[in-house]
Structure 1
Amino acid sequence: MKKILVPVDGSEISLKAAAQAVELAEKFGSEVTFLTVVHIDLPYYETATVPQNFIKMQDEIEAAASRESGKLLDALIKGYSSTGVAMNKKVLFGIVDMEIVDFAEDEKYDLILMGRRGFSPAKRFFVGSTTKKVLAAAPCSVMVVKE
């Protein structure tokens, strides 16, 4: 097991998954990549032309989300820097489960290690819909961390 992918959303369970991934990486000499996928739901315009200020607003929201996600991943890497584990970070935009699966496949990860439920309050009562979708479509093994 050389490459471990850890989707992180800042929730307590995703941080617990990150800790377990680093622990596994220490044992197996693996490399860990912390991944955050930003999904921004913006209003859809049914017209052929999109207002120019809308495009600017979308760019600004994505840039801010990317900066904040990067800070989260940087803090994780800094927190585990003394372990000697090789760590990377990646911020993607899109539909969360699809981006996780596609990235894992494209980059040939051996393991996805993720929390059972994430930060989404609207989905808290479901058994991790993103996790279920990743389990169903992942190109590699998936380890799910419970609360």
Structure 2
Amino acid sequence: MKKILVPVDGSGISLKAADEAIKIAKKFGSEVTFLSVVEVKMPFYGAKPISANLIKMQNQIEANATSEYERLLHALIEKYKNLGLVLHTKILTGPVDMEIEDFAGEDHSDLIVMGKRGLSPGKRFLVGSTTKKVLATAPCSVLIVKE
């Protein structure tokens, strides 16, 4: 197992998944990539053209989210830097599940380690979780860490 991908969003369960991924990486000498994905869902109000203000607001939200993820990923690198592992970070923008899947394929990841959120069965059925979507279509094995 050469490459492990860990999607992180700052939640407790994603940080727990990072810890689990590091344990695995230490056993196998794997590289670890911590990935954060910025997804901004702007409201849609019919067929009106998108205003310049709405685009400006979306760009500002993306920039703020990217800055927060940069801090998060830097903190993870600092936390694990003395373990002798090769660690990488990546921030992407787009639909979270699709970006995780695409990056895992492009990076030739051998394993994705990610957290599972505790949504109610009704919400999972109607919305579907990112974890469920990734599990269904990932190009490699997926380890799901529960709370």
Name the TM-score, length of structure 2 as normaliser: 0.89
Quote the residue 1:102 is aligned against.
102
Alpha-carbon distance in structure 1 between the residues aligned to 2:54 and 2:13 = 35
Runs of 4+ aligned residues of structure 1 deviating over 6 Å after TM superposition are none
Cα deviation per residue 1:36-93 (whole Å; 9 max; x = unaligned)? 112111123522x432222222111111110101111111111111111111111111
Taking only the aligned residue pairs, the percentage that are identical comes to 59
Quote the residue 2:43 is aligned against.
43
Q: Report the alpha carbon displacement of residue 135 of structure 1 after superposing the two structures with TM.
A: 0.8
Alpha-carbon distance in structure 2 between the residues aligned to 1:57 and 1:29 = 43
1:55 aligns with 2:55: yes
Quote the residue 1:22 is aligned against.
22
Q: Report the alpha carbon displacement of residue 94 of structure 1 after superposing the two structures with TM.
A: 1.3
Quote the residue 2:119 is aligned against.
124
Match runs of 1:52-91 below 5 Å: 52-91=52-91
Unpaired runs of 5+ residues, structure 2, are none
Alpha-carbon distance in structure 2 between the residues aligned to 1:138 and 1:20 = 19
Q: Report the alpha carbon displacement of residue 146 of structure 1 after superposing the two structures with TM.
A: 1.4
Alpha-carbon distance in structure 2 between the residues aligned to 1:42 and 1:129 = 19
